[in-house]
Structure 1
């Protein structure tokens, strides 16, 4: 798999993860509005891990999209 294909795949996975996280937040908000704060809180707590990894994922994707020179062999 080329760097370009890998970057495209990881970007797609990241986009889908963002969409799923957004949907889960909306579900948590709806559950919260129905009066079940403990369940909504559990969903939000689970999403904290996704949010914590966001910076690392974006940094990794950025480093893959940069054009790197080929390594020199001695």
Structure 2
């Protein structure tokens, strides 16, 4: 697997994680509106771990896309 393919795959995984987090937040909001605040709180607490990793994931993806050999000058 090439570096480009790995970067593409990791970017896709990151986007899917973002979408899943948004969906979980919407579910937590809906549960909250239904009156089950403790369950909504548990979902939000779990999502905090995902959000805490977001900076590291984005930094890693950025470094992967930038870590390539410099062009050779003739």
Question: Which 4+ residue blocks in structure 1 deviate beyond 4 angstroms?
Answer: none
- TM-score, normalized by length of structure 2? 0.91
In 2, Cα distance between equivalents of 1:11 and 1:67: 15
Deviates more, 1:35-44 or 1:61-70: 61-70
In 2, Cα distance between equivalents of 1:47 and 1:68: 33
Structure 2 unaligned blocks of 5 or more = none
- TM-score, normalized by length of structure 1? 0.91
Structure 1 unaligned blocks of 5 or more = none
Structure 1 partner of 2:57: 57
Question: Alignment RMSD, CA only?
Answer: 1.1
Structure 2 partner of 1:34: 34
